[in-house]
Amino acid sequence: MDLSLFNLVDILLYFLPIGLIFIFGRSINRHFRNRQTKIKLVDLMIPYLMVGIQILSIRTFKQSIFLYFLIFLFSLGIIIAILIAYKKGEISYSKFFKTYWRFVFLFSFLMYYFLVAASIVNKLVSF
């Protein structure tokens, strides 16, 4: 495989989220735990992943799929609210937002690395 196929921006986009989790995960989680705040590194990574999804989708597909992803996330929020209301009989905002935000991270992370894989395949096919 020719390494000139991937430039520095590509490599940073591909490996930065995982690097942030491994390098800063414990220290940031410990920092917020000492302040008695329930914020974790994954909560802080969501804006980066959203911007990365926008950039990677444009670089890979020549158009943005970010709006479709937002529609999916909003629909997910509605489904989670309905399930919590059905299960508990009421909606606790703190429970809803914690559950929803963790699902947003999970699906953002998965979408980000789906786009990374699509970008790599796109580069290899066009090479």
Using the structure block, give the residue that is written with the tokens 């989708």.
Answer: 57
Residue 24, C-beta contacts closer than 8 angstroms, at least 6 positions apart: 41
Q: For 89-109, write each residue's pLDDT tens digit.
A: 999 888 899 899 999 999 999
| Structural domains of the chain, count | 1
* DSSP structure string for 66-102: HHHHHHHHHHHHHHHHHHHHHHHSS--HHHHHHHHHH
Q: For 43-60, write each residue's pLDDT tens digit.
A: 888 999 999 999 999 999
More confident residue, 117 or 40: 117
Confidence bin at 38 (pLDDT 50/70/90): confident
Q: What average pLDDT is seen over the chain?
A: 87
pLDDT value at position 20?
82
Could you tell me what percent of the chain has a pLDDT over 90?
50
Query: What angle is formed at CA 87 by the lines to CA 83 and CA 90, rounded to 5 degrees?
Result: 90
Confidence bin at 1 (pLDDT 50/70/90): very low
Element (H, E) at 16: helix 8-34
- Structural domain including 28 reads 3-126
State yes or no: pLDDT of 75 exceeds 80. Answer: yes
Whether pTM > 0.75 for this model: the answer is yes
